[in-house]
């Protein structure tokens, strides 16, 4: 990499972060704004190449791992049938439908190449949908299904893609070999994921060092992905299995590990997602130049792009409604989901950078590579801009919300805080009794511990009322937080003033600032 290219990539990354910052400030979905900005800027800047290996081996593993760490294994287990039907069944169905339609549209395109396009486009990327859904209060079950689908569907699609591309290049399709490759890829990916999960869990039990543990956390997704891919298994599944297992065991780590881990992965997600969505839009000029030399007319390729986009969107609806309600015939004890929820999940099929990376990975020289890349690009852009921009309106129009879930969560939290308070006070009483008759200082310490526990429990109950007292007055807990924040700011200013007067060393300042920051972080809870 020369200096010019390095500077170009640095400016691209800085621009992507700046656009994401604007989106966060305005409350807009960052992925959609990044794609739009990339499209607008693409004709004005030198081409920024999308390296498939960079996406699949550098960006994808940490993004998958972070999503798996943050996911609930128990909730995913509750929706395992829905996730399997989407991440495997729907991907197969979408691949077949798109492949057949594209082969009819472009008879000169081999059936294998058409199915390769179907496999490329089939897996949705739920990043944009989940970001919007969380902001607008989409029910937890719907969010869990979308997250679970996005965790596993890439494994199905990439395996189908390898088989189809091999057939397109080699000219033969062996269905039995394809099924065998899929089963091998999934089974070995699970095995490698579990083996590494147990290994790293054992390592973490013997480290007890937050810095070491989080450094290892950064290496785990790459280790899992490369280990699986090196034996032609699914790196996606291996990474997801490790992430789910270690995320479910995170409560066994120290508090320092959890605090640092949360910050590390938030920054990682923010940076990588900013880059990958900006890269999608920036491919406009590259894709247009490629299709320009293919002998296709402008209206002709526009028609093909429109048809593929519509088929992609409709295929999800055609699969979702029959499968959702027909499977209830075999599980009569489970209530059928509301039609509005099915519509929301059906409309959340936005495609992402994995599809584009797979298209760019088609070997140069493959017949009709340019049209395959063009149709992938237009479908990715179409789903992001059309479905992504209308997704918030659809959620509001259908009045799908999680208000009841949020109330139940607050009630459960308050009850749990009360139970924990009772248990903690019992332990405190036993310890105080074992210490014997306390002196005045010990009494003050015990009273402070009791007061802090009662305040935490009171805060949980106050949340049931939305954080306000009767008549809209400020609750005791919110008053405490407001006043304590003012005190903390004054204390910080005092420490800085003493540092500037050379009465306090910088190292000491950092230590006391960290203590104040942790306390304020607790206040923000």
| DSSP string over 373-427 | HHHHHHHHHHIIIIIHHHHHHHHHHTT---HHHHHHHHHHHHHHHHHHHHHHHHH
User: How far is the C-alpha of 105 from the C-alpha of 99, rounded, in Å?
Assistant: 10
Are residues 473 and 354 both part of a single domain? no
Percent of the chain surpassing pLDDT 70:
87
Q: Which two tokens stand for residue 73?
A: 């294994």
Residues forming a β-bridge with 450: none
Residues, the chain: 525
Given a contact cutoff of 8 angstroms between Cβ atoms, the answer to whether 122 and 91 are in contact is yes
Please give the average per-residue pLDDT across 84-101, as a whole number. Answer: 95
Among 403, 425, 449, residue at a domain's last position: 403
Given a contact cutoff of 8 angstroms between Cβ atoms, the answer to whether 76 and 87 are in contact is no
Query: Can you give the pLDDT at residue 465?
Result: 60
CA dihedral defined by 235, 240, 242, 245, rounded to 10 degrees? -160
Query: Can you give the pLDDT at residue 116?
Result: 93
Among 403, 421, 443, residue at a domain's last position: 403
Q: How many domains does the chain have?
A: 3
Judged by average pLDDT, the poorest of 85-99, 127-141, 339-353, 376-390 is 127-141
- pLDDT tens column, 380-398: 999 999 999 999 899 889 8
Q: Which two tokens stand for residue 83?
A: 């996730």
483 assigned to some structural domain = yes
- pLDDT tens column, 224-241: 999 999 999 999 999 999
- pLDDT tens column, 505-525: 887 788 888 887 887 777 765
Can you tell me whether residue 182 is helix, strand or coil?
A: helix
Are residues 458 and 495 both part of a single domain? no
Distance between first and last Cα of the chain? 45
- pLDDT tens column, 401-460: 766 666 666 666 566 666 766 777 777 777 777 777 777 777 777 777 677 666 666 666
Are residues 185 and 281 both part of a single domain? yes
32 assigned to some structural domain = no
184 assigned to some structural domain = yes
Are residues 333 and 187 both part of a single domain? yes
269 band by pLDDT with thresholds 50, 70 and 90: very high
48 assigned to some structural domain = yes
Q: What is the 3-state secondary structure (H, E, C) of 255-280?
A: HHHHHHHHHHHHHHHHHHHHHHHHHH
189 assigned to some structural domain = yes
Mean pLDDT of the chain: 85
Given a contact cutoff of 8 angstroms between Cβ atoms, the answer to whether 117 and 366 are in contact is no
Among 353, 384, 403, residue at a domain's last position: 403
Given a contact cutoff of 8 angstroms between Cβ atoms, the answer to whether 156 and 87 are in contact is yes
CATH code of the domain in which 385 resides:
1.20.1530.20
Query: Can you give the pLDDT at residue 403?
Result: 64
Residues forming a β-bridge with 468: 474
pTM for the structure as a whole:
0.85
Q: How many CB atoms lie within 10 A of CB 151?
A: 24
12 assigned to some structural domain = no
Q: Domain residues for 271? A: 37-403
Given a contact cutoff of 8 angstroms between Cβ atoms, the answer to whether 66 and 162 are in contact is no
User: How far is the C-alpha of 227 from the C-alpha of 31, rounded, in Å?
Assistant: 30
Residue with tokens 């009662």: 454
Are residues 205 and 232 both part of a single domain? yes
User: How far is the C-alpha of 68 from the C-alpha of 246, rounded, in Å?
Assistant: 9
Given a contact cutoff of 8 angstroms between Cβ atoms, the answer to whether 284 and 43 are in contact is yes
Are residues 457 and 475 both part of a single domain? no
Residue 85 clears pLDDT 60, i.e. is over it: yes
Angle at 452 between CA 450 and CA 455, to 5 degrees: 110
Please give the average per-residue pLDDT across 371-381, as a whole number. Answer: 95
25 assigned to some structural domain = no
Are residues 103 and 135 both part of a single domain? yes
Query: Can you give the pLDDT at residue 184?
Result: 93
31 assigned to some structural domain = no
Q: What is the Rg, in whole angstroms, of the alpha carbon atoms belonging to the chain?
A: 27
Give the largest Cα separation in the chain, rounded.
Answer: 93
- pLDDT tens column, 63-83: 999 999 988 888 899 899 999
Q: Which two tokens stand for residue 18?
A: 């700046």
Are residues 284 and 197 both part of a single domain? yes
Query: Can you give the pLDDT at residue 258?
Result: 85
- pLDDT tens column, 181-224: 889 999 999 999 999 999 999 999 888 888 999 999 999 999 99
Percent of the chain surpassing pLDDT 90:
47
Given a contact cutoff of 8 angstroms between Cβ atoms, the answer to whether 350 and 379 are in contact is no
- pLDDT tens column, 116-174: 999 999 999 988 788 888 777 788 888 999 999 999 999 999 999 988 888 777 656 56
User: How far is the C-alpha of 343 from the C-alpha of 355, rounded, in Å?
Assistant: 23
Q: Which two tokens stand for residue 107?
A: 């008879």
Can you tell me whether residue 474 is helix, strand or coil?
A: strand
Are residues 422 and 371 both part of a single domain? no
Are residues 449 and 488 both part of a single domain? no
Higher pLDDT, 401 or 274: 274
Are residues 133 and 275 both part of a single domain? yes
Q: How many CB atoms lie within 10 A of CB 390?
A: 12
Residue 1 clears pLDDT 60, i.e. is over it: no
Query: Can you give the pLDDT at residue 406?
Result: 65
Taking CA atoms, 89 is separated from 58, 83, 115, 366, in Å, by: 28, 9, 15, 28
DSSP 8-class letter at 468: B
Are residues 144 and 261 both part of a single domain? yes
């Amino acid at each position: 990499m020369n200096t010019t290219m390095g500077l170009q990539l640095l400016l691209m990354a800085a621009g992507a972060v700046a656009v994401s910052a604007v989106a966060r400030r305005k409350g807009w979905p960052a992925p959609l704004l990044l794609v739009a900005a990339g499209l607008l800027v693409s004709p004005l800047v030198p081409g920024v190449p999308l390296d498939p290996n960079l996406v699949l081996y550098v960006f994808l593993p940490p993004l998958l791992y972070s999503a798996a760490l943050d996911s609930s294994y128990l909730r995913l287990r509750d929706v395992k049938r829905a996730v399997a039907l989407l991440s495997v069944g729907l991907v197969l169905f979408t691949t077949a439908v798109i492949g057949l339609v594209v082969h009819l549209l472009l008879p000169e395109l081999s059936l294998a190449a058409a199915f390769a396009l179907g496999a490329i486009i089939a897996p949705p990327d739920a990043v944009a949908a989940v970001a919007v859904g969380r902001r607008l209060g989409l029910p937890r079950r719907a969010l869990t299904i979308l997250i679970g689908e996005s965790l596993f569907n890439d494994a199905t699609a990439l395996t189908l893609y390898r088989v189809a591309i091999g057939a397109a290049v080699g000219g033969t399709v062996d269905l039995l070999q394809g099924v065998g490759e899929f089963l091998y890829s999934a089974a070995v990916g699970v095995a490698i994921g579990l083996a590494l999960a147990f290994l790293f869990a054992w390592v973490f039990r013997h480290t007890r060092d937050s810095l070491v543990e989080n450094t290892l956390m950064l290496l785990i997704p790459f280790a899992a992905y490369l280990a699986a891919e090196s034996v032609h298994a699914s790196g996606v599944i291996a990474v997801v299995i490790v992430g789910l297992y270690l995320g479910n065991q995170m409560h066994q780590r120290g508090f320092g590990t959890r605090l640092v881990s949360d910050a590390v992965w938030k920054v990682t997600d923010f940076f990588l997602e900013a880059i990958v969505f900006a890269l999608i839009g920036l491919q406009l000029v590259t894709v247009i130049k490629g299709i320009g030399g293919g002998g296709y007319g402008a209206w002709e390729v526009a028609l093909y792009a429109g048809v593929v986009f519509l088929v992609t969107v409709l295929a999800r609806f055609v699969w979702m409604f029959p499968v959702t309600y027909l499977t209830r015939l075999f599980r009569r004890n489970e209530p059928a989901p509301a039609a509005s929820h099915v519509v929301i999940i059906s409309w959340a099929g936005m495609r992402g950078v994995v599809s584009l990376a797979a298209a760019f990975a088609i070997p140069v020289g493959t017949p009709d590579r340019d049209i395959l890349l063009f149709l992938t690009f237009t479908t990715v852009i179409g789903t992001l801009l059309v479905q992504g921009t209308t997704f918030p309106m659809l959620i509001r129009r259908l009045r799908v919300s999680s208000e009841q879930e949020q109330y139940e969560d607050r009630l459960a939290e308050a009850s749990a805080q009360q139970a924990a308070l009772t248990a903690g006070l019992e332990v405190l009483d036993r310890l105080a009794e074992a210490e014997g008759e306390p002196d005045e200082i010990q009494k003050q310490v015990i009273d402070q511990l009791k007061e802090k526990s009662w305040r935490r429990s009171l805060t949980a109950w106050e949340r049931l009322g939305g954080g306000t007292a009767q008549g809209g007055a400020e609750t005791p807990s919110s008053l405490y937080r407001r006043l304590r924040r003012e005190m903390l700011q004054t204390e910080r200013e005092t420490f800085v003033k003493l540092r500037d007067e050379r009465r306090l060393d910088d190292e000491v300042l950092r230590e006391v600032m960290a203590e104040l920051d942790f306390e304020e972080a607790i206040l923000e809870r």
